[in-house]
Structure 1
Amino acid sequence: MRILLVTTGLRMGGAEQQVAALAREFLARGHQVGLISLTPDCEVPMPDAVERLMLDLHKNPLSLIQALRAARRFAMHWRPDVVSAHMFHANLFARLLSRIARIPPLVCAAHSFSEGGRLRMRLYRLTSRWCTLTTQVSEASRAEMIRSGAVSADRVRVMYNGIDTDKFRPDPALRASTRAQLGLDAQTRLILTIGRLAAEKAQVMLIDAFARMDHTTPARLLIAGDGPQRPALAARIARHGLGDTATLLGTRRDIPALLNAADLFVLSSRVEGMPLVIGEAMACGRPVVATAAPGVAELMGDIDTIVPIDDTDALAAAMHAALDQDSTSDAAATRRERIVTHFGIGSATDRWLALFEQLCPQAGTRPGPVRPCADA
């Protein structure tokens, strides 16, 4: 099967990493993969076997026209069996592309609960019929898209993201070496959060909650990621006098190592689609405390602790309680088993390929160059 991925970009976000992970899995299953990125940045490693078109789309009509022409030439030359777009801007771009090019079934994957607000929901609604199907990453996010009128219930389905459970796994040796690099002794408890530093992630509340905790037992808070809220978070750390115990790490590429080093992973978000980083932490066997953002309960099940959104006291109490409990190997195994069974990247790839074959059943069955489906 020839699968053409369309993405807004390839920065170090969860959705972008999901696109790259799926590309690797599709290739490993013997499929051919092409990629159109609306932006030239490429922080997420993409396999060399992926033939790609890296655009430099700007927010003006001329740039859009030029990008659509280039994408049309690429798509008609590459001749995919199915087009799989990911994230809001790529979804709209791919829908516009479908108006000027004879492309096969188009699946548009949303990766966030609100996808940016009312205007974006309205644009989704106006262009909904320009794609074959829309997908969302959780039941809560699907319900919100339907409620907002962005798509009708019969044209959107849930496709859970997948987690690389070979990459994210318990590793005692990695834990020991990473803690040593971070200067942590055996008594210091490490609380970790990972994500874009943005208002919807509510890391300010996490810092406030950390400040309210009883620090009789030494504890450190590490915040990995970057974004527009970094200055505000630095100011909050200084305001609480936490300069020695709370650290902004910036963008990191050693996430499995950090997760293994942690004693507790915390998510403080107000809005999520499906927070992959929780699944990655659980795959590493780490205890999790998270707010009740969309997608969290579906991912965690009844394992570990979920607290109300924007409740600083509840978050502080849950963090303290989690650190006060000894994490057992059985609990770690339970966390990992849930992710491996329900949210592994292999299972996610199976679901995507089954969907593509359902939409274009003759894909990949013909010898020689593959042409678009007859119903395109």
Structure 2
Amino acid sequence: MKPLIVQVVSSLQVGGAERVALELAARLPRERYRSELLCAGPEDSGRNLFENPLEAEAARRSVPVRRIALPGIRDATARGEVQAYLREHEVRLVHVHNRPTDWQVVALARLVGVRGLYTRHLPYRDVSRRQRMAYVAAARLAKAVVAVSEPVRTHLLREELTPASKIRVIPNGIDLGKFTLKNDEERTRIRGKLGISENAFVWICAARLAEQKGHKYLLDAFAQLAEDSARTLLLAGDGPLEGALEAQAEKLGISAQVHFLGARTDVPALLGAADAYVCSSHSEGHPLSVLEALAMNLPVVAPRLSPITAVGADAFIEYFGPEQKGWAARHDPAELAQAMATVERRKTYAENARAFVESRYGIERMIDAHTQLYAEILGR
């Protein structure tokens, strides 16, 4: 029987780590491996994180999805369910993509003789002493730790004390087949569905509405530009700050120009309707959303975070703020607004950006690198 490799996430939200996990589960060579997606996480704030469009996409792509409530490793029932699943399905390898599920599942898997690894998708600012010790232990138990960029590798070495011998740098990849360039007719049609005029300059940010993504500063910056009523900002994503951000937009007097679109599975179409992309994150590991925008030949405004500058796309990105190697504590809305205004004045698309992404960050590279890593681990 072919080995079963399970990608583990803590929710099925539309996020970068979750999308990578689904792509791996769907694209691993089926002549060599069987794949499943395990959602092992808690129910949060009364909202069932298991209910999400990603599950429907997994079904369309013939990826089985399992669910186990895992509120924490101290929950004996949850521990038993995870370990029973691993034994009964004869899982050979687990690959975990979120914290703290990563160290918890790797430890539980090790106890029943299942090999494990985890991916660090971004550097964290809040690694406590207790967490550091948990990851020191997890790295010893794991067969490998994947870092999505060199800055994340540095974070693993310095903050989580991960042995260099365990780290493998594998950048996340883009499925360029999903990001097809739009002609004028398609662009007009998409804008019409969103209620946006053809003459509007449309900014888009596709990111979870959470503190890490810095939407507060983006709204403050957009308010400085919003005297032109034709200017529009699309926010694709949901999250815990949605209500607060909607209230902020109302207070700033820009609610008519800011479209809160919620979690979307049609981000490529939304990018096709936009003129430029803006990222206001405090921290990134490997900026998938920026690469997706570049794949649509959109110019990008982004903070000067080391994981973003490390992408090597300076020709297509207008940076703002000072160089930051970890978590950017705050952004200056005036600097962000100035960068956005600079892009608007150019009124040109980022020609050749798509070719750049294809040459370095195509999804095939990511799948091939993981396939090789899995073969090495299972062969040990």
TM-score (norm 1): 0.87
Give yes or no for contact 2:83–2:112 (8 Å, CA) kept in 1.
yes
Partners of 2:17 and 2:113 in 1: CA distance: 27
* Alignment correspondent of 1:345: 363
Partners of 1:129 and 1:86 in 2: CA distance: 17
- 3-state SS, counterpart of residue 348 of structure 2: coil
Q: Does 1:200 align with 2:212?
A: yes
* Alignment correspondent of 2:77: 66
Per-residue displacement from partner, 1:260-279 (whole Å, max 9, x unpaired)?
A: 10101100011122221111
Distance 1:95 1:30, change over 3 A: closer
Give yes or no for contact 1:168–1:256 (8 Å, CA) kept in 2.
yes
* Alignment correspondent of 1:26: 28
* Alignment correspondent of 1:112: 122
* Alignment correspondent of 1:38: 40
Give yes or no for contact 1:224–1:251 (8 Å, CA) kept in 2.
yes
| Paired AA for residue 317 in structure 2 | D
Partners of 1:11 and 1:149 in 2: CA distance: 26
Unaligned ranges ≥5, structure 1:
362-374
Partners of 2:263 and 2:66 in 1: CA distance: 26
**1:81: Cα distance to partner?**
3.9
- 3-state SS, counterpart of residue 38 of structure 1: strand
* Alignment correspondent of 2:44: none
Give yes or no for contact 2:26–2:62 (8 Å, CA) kept in 1.
no
* Alignment correspondent of 1:125: 136
**1:324: Cα distance to partner?**
1.4
Give yes or no for contact 1:190–1:264 (8 Å, CA) kept in 2.
yes
From 7, 14, 18, the counterpart of 1:16: 18
**1:30: Cα distance to partner?**
5.3
More relative contact order, 1 or 2 (CA 8 Å, 6+ apart): 1
Give yes or no for contact 2:197–2:230 (8 Å, CA) kept in 1.
no
* Alignment correspondent of 2:353: 335
| Paired AA for residue 354 in structure 1 | Q
Partners of 1:152 and 1:60 in 2: CA distance: 24
* Alignment correspondent of 1:186: 198
Partners of 2:306 and 2:132 in 1: CA distance: 17
Give yes or no for contact 2:149–2:169 (8 Å, CA) kept in 1.
yes
Give yes or no for contact 1:165–1:340 (8 Å, CA) kept in 2.
yes
Q: Does 1:88 align with 2:109?
A: no
**1:8: Cα distance to partner?**
1.6
Give yes or no for contact 1:98–1:130 (8 Å, CA) kept in 2.
no
**1:34: Cα distance to partner?**
2.5
Distance 1:352 1:74, change over 3 A: same
Q: How many residues align?
A: 356
- 3-state SS, counterpart of residue 23 of structure 1: helix
Structure 1 runs of 4+ aligned residues shifted over 6 Å read none
**1:116: Cα distance to partner?**
4.8
**1:86: Cα distance to partner?**
1.4
From 306, 309, 312, the counterpart of 2:319: 306
Give yes or no for contact 1:197–1:230 (8 Å, CA) kept in 2.
yes
**1:145: Cα distance to partner?**
1.8
Of 307-316 and 109-118, the range deviating more from structure 2: 109-118
Give yes or no for contact 1:121–1:145 (8 Å, CA) kept in 2.
no
| Paired AA for residue 50 in structure 1 | V
* Alignment correspondent of 2:69: 56
- 3-state SS, counterpart of residue 162 of structure 2: coil
Distance 1:212 1:305, change over 3 A: same
Partners of 1:232 and 1:292 in 2: CA distance: 26
Partners of 1:51 and 1:255 in 2: CA distance: 24
TM-score (norm 2): 0.86
**1:52: Cα distance to partner?**
4.1
- 3-state SS, counterpart of residue 282 of structure 1: helix
Distance 1:71 1:157, change over 3 A: same
Of 14-23 and 216-225, the range deviating more from structure 2: 216-225
* Alignment correspondent of 2:174: 163
Unaligned ranges ≥5, structure 2:
42-48, 322-327
Per-residue displacement from partner, 1:283-317 (whole Å, max 9, x unpaired)?
A: 11111111123421123522221212512222111
Give yes or no for contact 1:193–1:266 (8 Å, CA) kept in 2.
yes
Partners of 2:120 and 2:313 in 1: CA distance: 22
* Alignment correspondent of 1:251: 263
Partners of 2:203 and 2:28 in 1: CA distance: 35
| Paired AA for residue 259 in structure 2 | T
Give yes or no for contact 1:164–1:344 (8 Å, CA) kept in 2.
yes
**1:187: Cα distance to partner?**
1.7
| Paired AA for residue 358 in structure 2 | V
Partners of 1:69 and 1:115 in 2: CA distance: 32
**1:195: Cα distance to partner?**
1.0
Distance 1:335 1:6, change over 3 A: same
**1:217: Cα distance to partner?**
7.7
**1:75: Cα distance to partner?**
2.0
| Paired AA for residue 55 in structure 1 | I
Distance 1:359 1:193, change over 3 A: same
Partners of 1:149 and 1:184 in 2: CA distance: 46
